[in-house]
Amino acid sequence: MLLQLALPRSLRTRQWGRFVFRPAVRAASTTPQRLDLLAVDKKWKNRWRCDPTAQLAKKHGKQKAYVLSMFPYPSGTLHMGHVRVYTISDVLARFKHMKGYDVLHPMGWDAFGLPAENAAIERGIDPAQWTMQNIANMKEQLRAIGAHFDWDRELMTCSPSFYKHTQRLFLMLHKRDLAYQAKALVNYDPVDKTVLANEQVDANGCSWRSGAKVEKVELKQWFFRITAFKEALLKDLDSLTDGWPERVLSMQRHWLGKSSGAHIRFLVSAPDGNYNIQVFTTRPDTLHGVQYLALSLTHPLVVRLANSNPDLKSFLDSASSLPEDTKSGYRLPDVLAVNPLSSLETNSSLQSSIPVFVAPYVLGEYGEGAVMGVPGHDSRDFAFWNENSGSQPISFVVKSPSSTEQNSAESLSDGPQPFTKKGVLADTCGSYSGMSSDEGGMKIVADLKNKGNFADNAENWRLRDWLVSRQRYWGTPIPIIHCGSCGPVPVPDDQLPVELPVVEGAGLKGKQGNPLESAEEWLHTSCPSCGGPAQRDTDTMDTFVDSSWYFMRFLDPSNEANPFSPSQVHPVDVYIGGIEHAILHLLYARFIYKFLATSELFPKELSGPSMVAEPFLKLLSQGMVHGKTYSDPSTGRFLKPSELDLSKSDAPLIKGTQTAPTVSFEKMSKSKYNGVDPTSCIDTYGSDAVRAHILFSAPVSEVLEWDESKIVGMERWFNRLWRVISDSRTSLGNFSSLNEETVKSLNDITLPDLTKISDDEASILLIAHDTITSVSHCLDEMPYGLNTVISNLTKFTNALASSSLPTSASTPTSQTVLYITLSSLLRLLAPITPALASEFWEHLHNNILKSSNTTSPSTAVPSIFSSPWPTLLLSESEVQSLRARGGKTVAVQINGKLRFSTVIPSPPTTETTSDKKGPSEVEKAWILTHLLETEEGKLWMKERNDWEKRRRVIVVGGGKVVNVVF
Ligand code: ANZ
Ligand code: ZN
C-alpha cells in the first residue's frame, strides 16, 4: 500500500473502500480562469466580516501567545508605515494561531493628544468627535489590509473606562511617593499663555503656533520618580539580549546613562569670598592634568557673579543662541581654583592656580554642572582649551602602557592630540607615577578623601524623573484635588474617573491657555478630606502615561476590580513597532510594569525576587517606508506627479523638457509629492499583493523603498500558483483519502514509501521540506528576515510550476506527494496572503472533498486557518538519501577553467528532457538556480565573479557541465 493515513483503522478501511484508481492518463493542462485578485480579496473579507470566527477561531485553554503592534494615534488615515507594521504583526499572529496557540492580537487607539485639541482650537471641532470619526476611518482601513485583530478587546485611551485606570495608576504611584510635584523650567508661550512641549518650539526658540518668543519659566509640575527604578531598568536589559535588537538595547542603556567616577572638590577664590566647587569626573586618574575648571551657564556661582558683572551677563544672554557644540567660553575675572592634589604632595609640575570659565558645553542638568578641564585627555576639553587658553601648552599625565604606542602628543606631526584612553600615570604624577589609570584613580580619590574630604566615589545617571504634567485639555485629568488647608489630596477611588468636562469644540475655538482652568463648574469641588472648598488639578497627563500600560488592559479589558489583571498578567511575546519609540515609550512601559510588579495587584508567581519583570519579551522594530521621489536635476525642485510622464515606468520624463528627472527614495512627505495612499493601493492590487510586496521589498528592520511598479512581480507569482492549483485540482479530482476531519489534521498524513517515488517527486518533496524548515524558522526565531520567506515561497512555487507533477499526478503515490506539497505551500502562505491562500485552499479541496464525499456533496471546506502549520516532512536520514538519489552532479567551469563540481537536486522531468538537443530552458534555469545556492556557487559565481555581469552561460552534456563566461 503506497498511501497510508494515520487514521483509526475503522476509518481507514472506509477510506480505502472509496479509493478509485484512475488510469494514468496525463490530465491536459487547461488554461484556468483568470485570477481576479480583487474579487478574491472582496469575497474573503466579506465572509470574515460576517463571521469573524470563520477565519481564526479561538483556541481556548491552549498555550497563549501575545502578539502586539504599537497602537496608532488616530490621525484619520493610515500611512504606509502603518501598513507595514500591521502586516508584520498580522503575519506573526496568524502563524502562531496555525501553530496551535491561543493568540491574543488586539488593537486600540492612542487617542489623547494635541492634534485633536488643535482641530478644536482652529476649527471648532469637538475633540472627542474628531477622534471617534478618525478611529472609524482607520478601523475600516485596517480591515482593508486584511489584518485580523481581536476587536472585542478594542480600547481607546480617551474613553473614561480606560482613563479611570490611568488615574488609578497615578494614585498608586502617588501613594508610594513615586508621583510628586516639583518646580521645573518649562517652555511658556506668553501670547497663547500656554506651556509648550519641546517639539512645539521651533529652531529659533519661537512658538510653532503664535510665533512668540518662548520663555523658560518655573512652574510646579507633576513628575514620576522613574529614577527609583534605574538600577532594574538597566540591569534587566541583559535579560532581553536574545529578544531585542542590540541597537535598541544600547539606546536604552545610553538614555539611562550610568557612569561611575568621583566627585572632586576644588577650593575656589572669588572676589566675594571662597567657595568649594564640586565636579563629577569619570577620570580621577587625570587630576594631575587639570588646567581649568568650567561651569555651566546655570551654575549657582555663575548666576551670582552675573549680578555684579555685566560682561558675564551679556555672555550668558548670547550663549543660549550658540550652536550645541560650541567651544566658546568666558573666563571669570579674579576667580581661581586650587588643585586639591596640592594638599597631598608638593609637585612642581602641578599647576598651582587654575582659571575658571563659564562654558555652554557644560550641561547644567548633568552631574554637578561643573567640569575639571583636562585638555590632554579629553577631546572636548582639548578643543575648548585650544580656543580659550591662548596657546598655553597642554599637559599629558597618562600614557600608553605599551612602549610602542606613544603619547599622541609626541607621535603626531600635525600637532598634539589628546590621549583619551586609559593607561599608566606618567612620571609627572609624583607618588602615583607608574600606576594604572584604574589603580591610580582609586588611590587618588581615597587619599583626597582621607586628607580633607576632597573627594568621594560617585556615580551619575543621565536619566531624569519623568515630567508628566501637560497644561492641556485633551488628556487624562490628574486625579488630585488641591485644598487650602489639606494641600494636594488624592481623589478617592469611588470618585474615579475624574472625567474631562465637556467643552464643545466651539468652546475651544481660538482659546488660549489651558481650557480646564476656566471650566468653572468642573474646577470647583470639595476637599475629599475636610469637605471644605477646593480646586481640581488642571493638568492632564503626558500621553506616554496612557501608552505605558495599555498593553496590560488588553489582557482582561472588562476587569474593573483589578485593571492590572492579577490572574491574567502575561508579558507581550512579540512587540512590533517603529524605531522612533526605541527610547521613551519602551522605557516608560518598562518602568510602569516594574512598578506594578512591586504592587499587591501583581500575581506572586510573576513578581517574586528572582523574576525579571519585563513587559516585552521580543521586540521587532521595523524600518521606515520611503517613497519614490522625483526632482528636477537642474534645480533640485521636487516634481509633482502631474509634471511627469510616467507612461514608461523604467524611463520617466519631465513633461515639457522631456528630460529625465532625478529619482530617489525619501521619507514620505507632502512637500516631496512622494506619499502613497495605502487605500488606493489596496483598491488597485488587493491587500494580499500589497502585503506580500511590503514584506518582500526589504528586511523588517531596514528602510523600505516603496516602488509600486514592482508589485507586478507578486501578481505574476500568484498567477503561477493559481495555474498550479488549477492543474492539480484536476489531477487530484479522485484523491479520495481526505475528509473534513483529516483536512484539519493534515500533518498526520504519512508519506508514501520513499523508495518507490520518482525523481521528480523526490525533488519536489525535498523542496517542500526545505521550505517548511526555513519559513518556520524565520517566523519563529528571525522575523527580521520576512523578505526571505517570500522568496522561499516563490521558489517553491516555481519548482512546482516547472514540474509535471501537478498535471500528471494520477497514482496514489504521486497524488499524495502532490497533495502534501501543495497543501504545505498553501499553509505556509496563509499568514502572508490570507484571502488568496483561503481561495486556493477552497478551490483545491472543493473538488477533492466533493468527489470523496458521496453522502453529503455539499461538504464545507474547513478554513485553511483551522489546519495546522505544516511540520517537517522528512527525517534527516530521509533527506540525505533523497538528496543522494535525486542529486545531479554538475561540473562548473568559469571562463573555461574547471572550478568545482557539486551535487544539486535533479531537475524535474519536463517534456523536453529526452530531447537530444539538450536541456530545456526550464531545466537550465533549475540548474543555475540551484548552483547559485550551493556554497561553491556562491563563492565562484557571486563573490569572486559578479553573476549579474555574466556574458554567456553554456550548459552542455545534458546539464552535466556548465560553463560561465564573465
Ligand atoms: C575629567 C575628565 C578627563 C573627564 C578625561 C573625561 C575624560 P559620562 O561618561 O557621560 O558620565 N562632565 C561631567 N559633568 C559634565 C557636565 N555637566 N557637562 C558636560 N560634561 C560633563 O561623562 C563624564 C565626563 O564628562 C566627566 O569626566 C567630565 O569630564 C564630563 F580624560 O572629567 B571628565
Ligand atoms: Zn481639605
Q: What's the pLDDT tens digit per position in 387-438?
A: 998 888 999 999 998 754 444 444 445 578 999 999 999 999 999 999 999 9
Distance from residue 541's CA to the centre of ligand 2 (Å): 23
- Ligand of minimum distance to the alpha carbon of 255: 1
Ligand 1 atom nearest residue 420's Cα:
31
Which of 278-292, 490-504, 528-542 is least confident?
A: 490-504
- Ligand of minimum distance to the alpha carbon of 529: 2
Distance from residue 520's CA to the centre of ligand 2 (Å): 19
User: Which run of H or of E encompasses 840?
Assistant: helix 834-852
Check residue 566 and give its pLDDT.
65
Domain boundaries, the chain: 3-35+707-874, 170-225+465-544, 259-460, 884-965
- Ligand of minimum distance to the alpha carbon of 490: 2
Check residue 738 and give its pLDDT.
73
pLDDT in tens, 612-657: 899 999 999 999 999 899 999 999 899 998 999 988 877 899 998 8
* CATH homologous superfamily, domain 259-460: Valyl/Leucyl/Isoleucyl-tRNA synthetase, editing domain (3.90.740.10)
374: helix, strand or coil? coil
Residue whose CA lies nearest to ligand 1 atom number 27 = 281
Specify the fold of 884-965.
Ubiquitin-like (UB roll) (3.10.20)
CATH code for the part of the protein at 3-35+707-874: 1.10.730.10
Q: Which residue has the higher pLDDT, 750 or 283?
A: 283
pLDDT of 13 > 60? The answer is no
Ligand 1 atom nearest residue 361's Cα:
19
Residue whose CA lies nearest to ligand 1 atom number 31 = 377
- Ligand of minimum distance to the alpha carbon of 253: 1
Q: Which residue has the higher pLDDT, 569 or 776?
A: 776
Ligand 1 atom nearest residue 296's Cα:
17
Mean of pLDDT values over 360-368: 91
Ligand 1 atom nearest residue 365's Cα:
17
Ligand 1 atom nearest residue 377's Cα:
31
pLDDT in tens, 131-144: 999 999 999 999 99
Mean of pLDDT values over 76-94: 94
pLDDT in tens, 804-857: 999 999 888 999 999 999 999 999 999 999 999 999 999 998 877 766 555 554
pLDDT of 8 > 50? The answer is no
Check residue 296 and give its pLDDT.
95
Distance from residue 484's CA to the centre of ligand 2 (Å): 6
Distance from residue 416's CA to the centre of ligand 1 (Å): 21
Give the Cβ contact number of residue 730 at 10 Å: 17
- Ligand of minimum distance to the alpha carbon of 535: 2
Distance from residue 371's CA to the centre of ligand 1 (Å): 6
Distance from residue 445's CA to the centre of ligand 1 (Å): 16
Residue whose CA lies nearest to ligand 1 atom number 8 = 259
Mean of pLDDT values over 717-721: 97
**How far apart (Å, rounded) are the C-alpha atoms in residues 527 and 490?**
9
Residue whose CA lies nearest to ligand 1 atom number 22 = 282
Distance from residue 123's CA to the centre of ligand 1 (Å): 50
Distances (CA, A) of 524 to 475, 495, 502, 534, 601: 19, 15, 15, 6, 33
**How far apart (Å, rounded) are the C-alpha atoms in residues 56 and 863?**
8
Q: Say if CB 329 and CB 294 are below 8 A apart.
A: yes
Residue whose CA lies nearest to ligand 1 atom number 28 = 281
682: helix, strand or coil? helix
Q: Of 909, 931, 932, 933, which Cα lies nearest the Cα of 922?
A: 909
Question: Ligand 1 pocket by C-beta < 6 Å: which residues?
Answer: 259, 280-283, 286, 296, 362-363, 366-367, 369, 371-372, 374, 377-378, 460
Check residue 603 and give its pLDDT.
72
Which of 179-193, 639-653, 908-922 is least confident?
A: 908-922
- Ligand of minimum distance to the alpha carbon of 374: 1
Distances (CA, A) of 105 to 84, 147, 413, 701: 16, 10, 63, 21
Q: Say if CB 535 and CB 485 are below 8 A apart.
A: no
DSSP-assigned letter for residue 623: P
Distance from residue 405's CA to the centre of ligand 1 (Å): 25
Q: Among 264, 282, 341, say which to mutate for ligand 1: greatest number of ligand atoms within 8 Å of CB.
A: 282
Distance from residue 531's CA to the centre of ligand 2 (Å): 6
Distance from residue 492's CA to the centre of ligand 2 (Å): 13
Residue whose CA lies nearest to ligand 1 atom number 12 = 371
Distances (CA, A) of 436 to 136, 281, 430, 681: 66, 17, 14, 64
Give residue 15's pLDDT band: very low, low, confident or very high (50, 70, 90): very low
